[in-house]
Structure 1
């Protein structure tokens, strides 16, 4: 049997599987940010307040967060293919219903349905690709997947703005229908069925764990979202859900460590592995830094340079482009060298580029900030793909669904925390300086210094990541990759 280590080629079956999987997953990734540009339009259309209509986005994110942990259990209970098709169909139903919404309440409800569908599909993207690639090619495949993850948050608002102005708000939901139908038809043919799950068999749902973890994660995400909107952590709408969410999550940890009769949704003992703990932590920090820049940079273009929302969004696109270019290359490199060196290099590039952004003010040309944002994207992309590959090289195959749930939840929480911290920094500087006289640049400089500090933390954590893949890992990976390739050809 020939080893895949050092072989840059991916067989056609695996490439088809990657394409079909990403086609299904891209809808939820785009939808999570695309609708945010239509808040004013929704408020006018349904004659309601912006705070009420904001629940169309918040409800989507909370539903997604609540669903992700349960999806890890459902993989063992129902199988990947059935669950994937269920998630796609549910997302399409939510999209169609959202496009036909008649008031703010109906829109929020239908967006929640969309969020549940995305909560099923999003982690399954990682599960399907990780199983098919095997540990020896995890970096390359996760790098290819990272292109979609990188461009989604950046292109979502831009695409949403274009569709909103040219075809109206309902088109932002109708666009999912043809994409989703094609994704379902291709999935029926390409997505591997996996092991047959007999009716009534499979793991029992950890109901107590679900009642602790899902609302706990949702409460923490809600608190961080509120902190970002209010630019302070002391508001009751932040403190109450944050305390409640932390208490529920602590309760889940205690429950999971004591569980005997049923397998917990997330095995806390996974974090006893240094490689796993370091990988998911660094991945969470990547989400934190990415969304911090995504929040601060467009605001700086609007406030300091007077650009409109669409122009500001387009000027941020190089951030996602840099990440999309770096991820496949860094992922391929990590399959040969391990995660540490690519992550170190990426963290250094991201830190230097963030420091460069702190020197840019109202008098600086946009070309410099565009180049710096592109470099930040390159650096964070060079961190993201190797870290994801390292994560799946450290997990036993049966723990891949749980690992995917951890990654997605930490990315959501990291992104919300990044936005909240930047909002707090901007508010603190804004209270002491007027933007009009140029002193307001201090807030944006503070935000980019925050990203610089996050990059340094990633650099400090890089030695904890797995090093060069060993021979033993390669041998085991070869069998896994061969199994995945045979499934991909089905």
Structure 2
């Protein structure tokens, strides 16, 4: 697979990996729109059934750091298959759940499977593509990232309208079986294990995974409680910060789970910050637009999901094209142009009101997706062009954890803004102003990205040593 073109084998590999990567995104977003249905089915409160989604999210976050070490110890294909099997087992069990406690437990199993799969998507694609094709392959991955959060609510609404809530999990299992069969046939067999695989940093794993999970839990509780200064938020936030500070101290020793020396590279730090902030702004839009269509125009969940589709469509159009162009011309100009388009689009959304024709927010959402795609794919491509092979797994885990954190932060801030505003429309406008701010910071960080094209030498991230872009 040394050719710069995407040959047939690589294209099949990309399709199979993205199919598996889509499972977690679709399942989590489908479950989110089923909260009312599940609460009624199990005769419980919305806050209790919310733990079915929160438990999934926490399991994903806590499992990601383990993947960093396990992919080298057990091999990418073996770990991918294990992640799919774990996700399938959780899906089947969730579809057969008999009470709310069993549902939450089985959603945690699903989340553990997704926590293996999600960073592996980035790791396997980056290793298969190589530096010369990183942009275009990450652009194709961006189609999943763009469409998944949009298709999930639409699919969930359609399934719940025609079938029972159990079908939502059982259909995920059918898709997962197809992904598993294809993975066994298409993903290349793992080679012999490296002669020296570092021992698992058990202390680091016990600090980093739970630390990030506790911070994500605090942000989720901020959204649920509608306030920050409450014990449900402050307790997990304090615990998470203590664990993360403990990891930062522990990581100074040899052989940490994730080397914090990665952040000595300005280009790496800028790349993960752009992806985190971009994810926060995008999730703010994904959260606010359906609320706008429901509250200002009286649409149901399915119609609001369909009207939100232009946002995902814009990203799915822009990311493959921008990724391919970034391999030829570098990341900075494309990313800067995309950030400008995203800022202008969200500025337009701050002007919407109850009397705004639906065509205009749909058009602004389309261009917002186009702009976000134009800075996301080149940023991911530049990230993987600067990471040497041994650091790809660590860089992928950092990127995905910060993406999770950005998404959780976005939802928490959106909820606080909406709940503290004088009116629903004022709150939604405040959300879009939040997205404007996050994309302006993205624009300010773009000059720190590596500027070269794929064939030009890029600064490599080296353990314990700074690099200059």
**8 Å Cα contact 1:354/1:376 also seen in 2:** yes
Secondary structure, counterpart of 1:195 in structure 2: coil
- Provide the C-alpha distance between the structure 2 equivalents of 1:31 and 1:396, rounded to a whole number of angstroms: 33
Distance (whole Å) between structure 2 residues aligned to residue 454 and residue 214 of structure 1:
26
| 1:360 equivalenced with 2:352 (yes/no) | yes
Confirm or deny: 8 A CA contact 1:32 1:57 kept in the other structure.
yes
Provide structure 2 residue ranges, at least 5 long, that are not aligned to the other structure.
461-469
CA distance in 2, matches of 1:36, 1:427: 19
Asked if 1:467 corresponds to 2:451, the answer is: yes
Aligned to 2:467: none
Match of 1:308 in 2: 300
Is 1:227 aligned to 2:219, yes or no?
Answer: no
**CA distance, structure 2, for counterparts of residue 302 and residue 38 of structure 1:** 16
Please report how far the alpha carbon of residue 471 of structure 1 lies from its aligned counterpart in structure 2 after TM superposition: 4.8
- Taking a change above 3 Å as real, the CA distance of residues 46 and 470 of structure 1, as seen in their structure-2 partners, is closer
The DSSP-based 3-state class of the residue aligned with 1:196 is coil
Tell me, in whole angstroms, the C-alpha distance in 1 between the residues paired with 2:2 and 2:72.
30
Q: Look up the match of 2:335.
A: 343
- In 1, are the aligned partners of 2:330 and 2:454 still within 8 Å (CA)? no
Alignment of 1:28 onto 2:12: no
From 85, 89, 103, the counterpart of 1:89 = 85
Q: Are the equivalent residues in 2 in contact too, given 1:77–1:201 (CA < 8 A)?
A: no
Once the 2 structures are TM-superposed, how far is the Cα of residue 2 of structure 1 from its aligned partner? Answer: 8.2
**Does the CA-based 8 Å contact 2:349-2:432 persist in structure 1?**
yes
User: Which of 392, 398, 410 is the equivalent residue of 1:406?
Assistant: 398
1:59 and 1:446 mapped to 2: Cα distance?
29
How many angstroms apart in 2 are the aligned matches of 1:470 and 1:53?
47
How far apart, CA to CA, are the structure 2 residues paired with 1:428 and 1:47? 30
- Report Cα offsets for 1:93-138 as digits up to 9, x if no partner: 1101111101100101111000000000111111111001001110
Alignment of 1:449 with 2:433, yes or no, is: yes
Partner Cα separation in structure 2 for residue 253 and residue 332 of structure 1: 36
Aligned length: 459
Quick check: 1:102 aligned with 2:107?
no
SS of the residue corresponding to residue 264 of structure 1 reads coil
Query: Aligned partners of 1:183 and 1:363: how far apart in 2?
Result: 45
Residue deviations 1:353-380, cap 9 Å, x none?
0010111111111110100111111111
Q: Find the counterpart in structure 1 of residue 281 from structure 2.
A: 289
Cα pair 1:361 1:441 within 8 Å, conserved = yes
Look up the match of 2:464.
Answer: none
Counting only pairs closer than 5 Å after superposition, residues 207-246 of structure 1 correspond to structure 2 as: 207-246=202-241
Q: Distance in 1 between matches of 2:8 and 2:173?
A: 27
How far 1:201 moved relative to its partner? 5.8
Q: Distance in 2 between matches of 1:395 and 1:17?
A: 21
Give the match for residue 156 of structure 2: 160
- 1:374 correspondence with 2:366: yes
Contact 1:76 1:203 survives alignment (8 Å): no
Given that 2:26 and 2:149 are in contact with CA atoms closer than 8 Å, whether structure 1 keeps it comes out as: yes
Distance in 2, Cα, partners of 1:195 & 1:392: 22
What is the rounded CA distance, in whole Å, between the counterparts of 1:471 and 1:41 in structure 2?
A: 52
Partner of 2:418: 426
In structure 2, distance between residues paired with 1:96 and 1:127: 27
Indicate which of 167, 170, 188 corresponds to 1:192.
Answer: 188
Give the alignment partner of residue 270 of structure 2, picking from 269, 278, 286.
278
Counterpart residue number, 1:483: none
Is the CA contact 1:288–1:418 (under 8 Å) kept in the aligned structure 2? Answer: yes
Q: After TM superposition, list the pairs within 5 Å mapping 1:55-74 onto structure 2.
A: 55-74=51-70
Gapped regions of structure 1 (runs ≥ 5): 477-490
Q: Which runs of 4+ in 1 moved over 3 A?
A: 470-474
Residue 111 of structure 1 corresponds to: 107
Tell me how far apart the structure 1 counterparts of residues 258 and 314 of structure 2 sit (CA, whole Å): 33
Give the Cα–Cα distance (whole angstroms) in 2 for the partners of residues 178 and 142 of structure 1. Answer: 26
SS of match in other structure, 1:381? helix
Are the aligned partners of 1:224 and 1:420 in contact in 2 as well (CA < 8 Å)?
yes
TM-score in terms of structure 2 length: 0.95
CA distance in 1, matches of 2:96, 2:420: 42
**Correspondence for 1:128:** 124
What SS class does the counterpart of residue 102 from structure 1 fall into? coil
| Cα distance between partner residues in 1 of 2:455 and 2:296 | 54
